[in-house]
Structure 1
Amino acid sequence: MPYLSKIRINPCRPGALRLLGNPYKMHGAVQAGFPDTVDERVLWRLDADDPHRPHLLVLTERSRPDWSHLAEQAGWPTADGEHFHVRDYTPLLQRLAAGQEYAFRLKANPVQNTKHPDKLTSVQEARAKAAEQSGSRIRGFRIGHRTAKAQLGWLLKRCQNPAIGFDIPTVAPEPAPAPGLDLPHDTSPAPAVALTERDTVRYRKKNNGTQLTLSTATFEGRLRVTDPEALRRTLLGGLGPSKAYGCGLLTLAPLDPEQAHG
């Protein structure tokens, strides 16, 4: 049975600060929510719409977790209210039907594979040097998209693949400006998605380890179900790379009236 969890994080706690700035440590805290080693995909995402009250979302495919350790180390363990909740995800998955539309949010790591990057990281330089010394062929390097246009293009290209189970409809353009203002106006429909946040996180797996870089993009918009079974696989399996480090979790919500008529 799949479960979606939501955990309250207190950003003023030292334990929370160690997790919020390091996706590797947050990954470890998420894995600690299970008494045994899990052999399933575990997706998580940090939502910080209110930076003073961030929430951690975790989706598990079969295992029901316990987040008491996070409430004690990085939450409000003695305060009133529900510090975390774990809900059965099955009803949402069963409701999916072709043609339905939902609001969505996705935090992803948009990347491209290239054999000739503009600049190599220290890890990539070491890999290229090792390949050169051994005489083996250098495989392509995974490079993060750096511009908002490229990151949005990455998502729209992924949506062309029927295997993900959804597409992003287009919406009518905004009304034309008042006459006489002489402002440019695009009359072509646009995809119903916006890039709402971009971030670059630099972290280390060990205190003196190599510094790693993770570029993320958060998308919000409207999607249309094209293949319910394929979308279920996407929701449970995630979208894009770096899933262990807080990327790939796609969540759905009912459309508000303004979105529904957009």
Structure 2
Amino acid sequence: MSWLARFEVDAQTARTHDIFDNYAWHKRLWECYPDAPDAKRDFLTRIDPLEGAFRIWMLAGRKPQHPVWCPPEGFALKEIAPSFLSHRFYAFDLKANPVKTIVQRGPNGETLIHPNAKRKHGKRVPLVKHDELRAWLIRKGEVRCRDKDTGLNIPGGFRILEEMPLEISPMVESHFRKKGQYGYHGGVQFRGTLEVTDPENFIKTYQSGIGSAKGFGFGLLLLAPLNP
């Protein structure tokens, strides 16, 4: 069972509740689960700044409660029927944090290896070129991520229909402050059409999200079924 919630909050209300960036939203959204403050995050979010307001989406396995910072008229909740994820084609809207990890190399250009035989990784850097972003999204359909225990690829369960238009917005920096430290994530919006190639893994992708920084409002797929 999954739930999709939408919150619409005006900017003044957000300021009243000390919500100034994505990390503040991250903390406030936990208030939808007052009985489980120490639980592991098991929901995805998306934060869309509007003119004088914010629209926030939440996809969750547990039913969220209406938080005090959201006006009653701005809160909407819908249970997602299993049949919703049984279609072959979908129009999608994804706000993601596409990055690549720089591999650490030695003085002679050799790849540095941990004692467990895994490569040493450096910092993550955002992808900004259109061709890189397009290739990143296509790869996510083929391989969503790697299993942390086995190292095996986990399929995304879908493919991007490249014969259909694919909109890729310029990267927008989303700055935040966490524990006195400043940082940012690069957010990119993708809009297009996908075909489900592996229903079981596609459902897992929908529930788990795509890419990194999921706790900061990235990775949630908004879907609309399409007729063949």
**RMSD (Å) for aligned C-alpha atoms:** 2.6
Matches for 1:99-138 after TM superposition, within 5 Å: 100-115=88-103
Seen in structure 2, the aligned counterparts of structure 1 residues 58 and 29 have a Cα distance that, compared at 3 Å, is same
Provide the rounded CA distance (Å) in 2 between the counterparts of 1:153 and 1:11: 36
Tell me the residue number matched to 1:182: none
- Alignment deviations for residues 3-56 of structure 1 (CA, whole Å, 9 cap, x no partner): 11001111233537843x4111110011111021333521100134x4345311
Asked if 1 retains the 8 angstrom alpha-carbon contact of 2:126 and 2:186, the reply is: yes
Structure-2 separation of matches of 1:139 and 1:101: 36
Contact 2:142–2:157 (CA under 8 A) maintained in structure 1: no
Q: Given the two structures, how large is their TM-score scaled by the length of structure 2?
A: 0.78
Whether the aligned pair in 1 keeps the contact of 2:31 and 2:67 (CA below 8 Å) is no
Unmatched 5+ stretches in structure 2: 106-118, 144-153
CA distance in 1, matches of 2:8, 2:182: 28
Partner AA of 1:33 in structure 2: C
Indicate how the Cα distance of structure 1 residues 86 and 169 shifts in structure 2: closer, same or farther if over 3 A, else same: same
Q: Which has the higher strand share?
A: 2
Q: Distance in 2 between matches of 1:197 and 1:253?
A: 23
- Which amino acid in 2 is paired with 1:6? R
Name the counterpart of 1:12. Answer: 12
Question: Hey, what does 2:155 align to over in structure 1?
Answer: 163
Runs of 4+ with deviation above 6 angstroms: none
Supply the distance in 2 between the matched residues of 1:149 and 1:43 (Cα, whole angstroms).
27
**Count of residue pairs brought into register by the alignment:** 203
Instruction: State the distance in 2 between where 1:103 and 1:234 align.
Output: 15
Give the counterpart letter for 1:107 in structure 2: K
Match of 2:171 in 1: 198
- Taking structure 1 as the reference length, the TM-score comes to 0.69
Measured in 1, the distance between the counterparts of 2:225 and 2:92 equals: 9
1:212 and 1:155, CA in 2 relative to 1: closer, same or farther beyond 3 A? same
Q: Measured at CA, do residues 29 and 243 of structure 1 come closer, stay the same or move farther in structure 2, by a change above 3 Å?
A: same
In the alignment, the residues of structure 2 paired with residue 86 and residue 97 of structure 1 have an alpha-carbon distance, to the nearest angstrom, of: 21
Larger Rg: 1
1:94 matched to 2:83: yes
2:40 counterpart residue number: 39
Query: Aligned partner of 1:170: which letter?
Result: E
Identity of aligned residues (%): 27
The amino acid of 1:113's aligned partner reads T
Q: Following TM superposition, by how much is the alpha carbon of 1:214 offset from its aligned partner in structure 2, in angstroms?
A: 0.7
Structure 1 residue matching 2:27: 3-state secondary structure: helix
Equivalent pair of 2:169/2:189 in contact (CA under 8 Å) = yes
- The answer to whether the 8 Å contact 1:33/1:69 transfers is no
Which residue of structure 2 aligns with residue 22 of structure 1? 21
Runs (5+) with no aligned partner, structure 1: 118-136, 172-190
What letter is aligned with 1:88? E
Partners of 1:18 and 1:199 lie apart in 2 by 22
Where 1:39 maps in the other structure, the secondary structure is: coil
User: Which among 58, 76, 88 is matched to residue 85 of structure 1?
Assistant: 76
- Determine which structure has the larger helix proportion and give its number: 1
Distance 1:224 1:17 in 2: 41
Matches within 5 A, 1:59-78: 59-61=59-61, 63-71=62-70, 76=71
Matches of 2:79 and 2:161 in 1, distance apart?
29
Instruction: Tell me what 1:226 maps to.
Output: 197
1:94 counterpart SS class? helix
**Is the 1:40–1:60 contact (alpha carbons within 8 Å) kept by the matching residues of 2?**
no
Change (3 A) 1:14 1:244: closer
